[in-house]
Amino acid sequence: MSTNGDLITLTESGLFCAAGNFYIDPWGAVDHCIITHAHSDHAHAGSKSYLSTTSGQGILRARLGDHANIKSVDYREPLTLGDVKVSLHPAGHVLGSAQVRIEYKGEIWVLSSDYKLAHDPTCEPFELVRCHTFISESTFGLPIYRWRPDDEIFKEINDWWRANRDAGKCSIIFGYALGKAQRVLAGLDRSTGPIYTHGAVERLTREYRTMGVDLPKTEHAGSLPKGTKFGGSLIIAPPSAQGTPWMRQFGTVSTAFASGWMRIRGARRRKAIDKGFVLSDHADWDELNKAIRDTGAERIIVTHGYATEMVRWLTECGLQAEALPTHFEGELAEMQPPAEAEPQEKDEESQP
C-alpha cells in the first residue's frame, strides 16, 4: 500500500489517518481510535480514547472494561475529526459493526472492516457507501466460498438438534461468543428444548438483548446445580471450550461447529466434531465482488484472508487493486487447535 498522499496509511500500530489524527482498529494501544467492532483482533485495550457506534458501545465496554474511555455516535451521524469528516455506516458483520467513511478535500475513503451482505436479524444490514477508495476484507475471497441461504442452514441445525434430543443426547454447537452465537440463537426452533450457554456467550447475549435483539430464552450452564441432566438440551459455546474439562458435565453429547470454514472438505474432521454447519458472518465470494463493484471505487485495497488471490482477480477484471497486510484474522481463529485447559479463545474472552 502506497503511503504517498494516502488518506489512510499503514503504520507499526495499524491503519492511521494523519489528517484526522486517529487510528482505525489499531493493533495495540494508541491515543485515539475508531473501533469498527468488538472482536478482539479489532479492539485492543489500553488506548486513551475509543469511538464506536451507539449499538456497539455496550459490547465494546463488555470487552474492554468500565475504565475504557468510549464515546459513541449513531450510524451516519457526521462528525469532524481534525481536518476530515467521518461517519460510521452498518457493516452487517455483528451487532454495532461499522464501515468507516472518511472525506477529505472531496476525496472519500471507506474502510469496510469485516462485513457481510446476507440478512441477519441480530445486526444492522450492510449499507453500501460509494467512495473513491474502498478497503475491503477478503476472509473468504475464493470462488469456493459461496454460502447457502440461511433458512436451509438453520433447518439443518434444528433437525440435528431434534434428532439428538430424541436419542437422549445433549447438542453442543461451537461458534464465536460475539456474533455467531447470537445468530445461531436467532435461528433456533424455540419449541425443541432448553438452551444453555457458556459464560462468554451468555454475557454478550445479554448485551444483544439490551439493544432490543429478539433471542430465545437461555440459561448460563455454569449457574445450574451440580448433577443437572442436559439430555435433549442445546449448548452454545465458544470454540476454545472444545476439549476442556468444562465439557464433561454434559454427559452424552453430539458436537457441531458453525463457521464458514466448514465449507472446506476435511475441516470437520480436523476439528473432531460430529457435524459442521456452513454459517459465516463474513461476505462470501459473490458478496465480496458485489460490494466492491457497487461502491464505484476507483481503487480497491484488500486486507486479510485471501487478499493476494482477490487482488489478482480484481486486476484481471480491470480494477486497480492492491493488498494490505494486517493483523486481522476474521474467522481464522476458529480453526486453532482446542484449548487444553481453561476455555479461553483469541477472538472472545471466555468465562466458563
The tens place of each residue's pLDDT in the chain, 352 residues long, gives: 444 479 999 999 999 999 999 999 999 999 999 999 999 889 999 999 999 999 999 999 999 999 999 999 999 999 999 999 999 999 999 999 999 999 999 999 999 999 999 999 999 999 999 999 999 999 999 999 999 999 999 999 999 999 999 999 999 999 999 999 999 999 999 999 999 999 999 999 999 999 999 999 999 999 999 889 999 999 999 999 999 999 999 999 999 999 999 998 777 677 789 999 999 999 999 999 999 999 999 999 999 889 999 999 999 999 999 999 876 665 555 544 333 222 233 333 333 4
In the sheet that 219-220 helps form, which strands lie side by side, from edge to edge?
Answer: 219-220, 195-197, 234-237, 170-174, 253-258, 275-277
The grid coordinates of residue 145 equal 466460498
SS3 33: strand
CATH 2.40.50 fits 150-277, yes or no: no
The residue type at 245: P
CATH topology of domain 9-144+282-335: Metallo-beta-lactamase; Chain A (3.60.15)
Report the C-alpha gap between 198 and 166 in whole angstroms: 23
Domain boundaries, the chain: 9-144+282-335, 150-277
Give the strand order in the sheet containing 49-53: 9-11, 14-17, 22-24, 32-34, 49-53, 70-73
> Looking at the chain, how many residues does it have?
352
Segments of the chain assigned E as strands: 9-11, 14-17, 22-24, 32-34, 49-53, 70-73, 79-81, 84-90, 98-104, 107-111, 133-137, 170-174, 195-197, 219-220, 234-237, 253-258, 275-277, 299-303, 320-324
Measured CA to CA, the distance from residue 60 to residue 47 in angstroms comes to 13
Nearest to 102 by CA among 117, 124, 119, 80: 80
8 A C-beta contact, residue 173 and residue 238: no
Lookup: cell for 314: 480484481
Contact 118, 89 (CB under 8 A): no
Q: Are 110 and 131 in contact (CB under 8 A)?
A: yes
Residue 195's identity, in one-letter code, is I
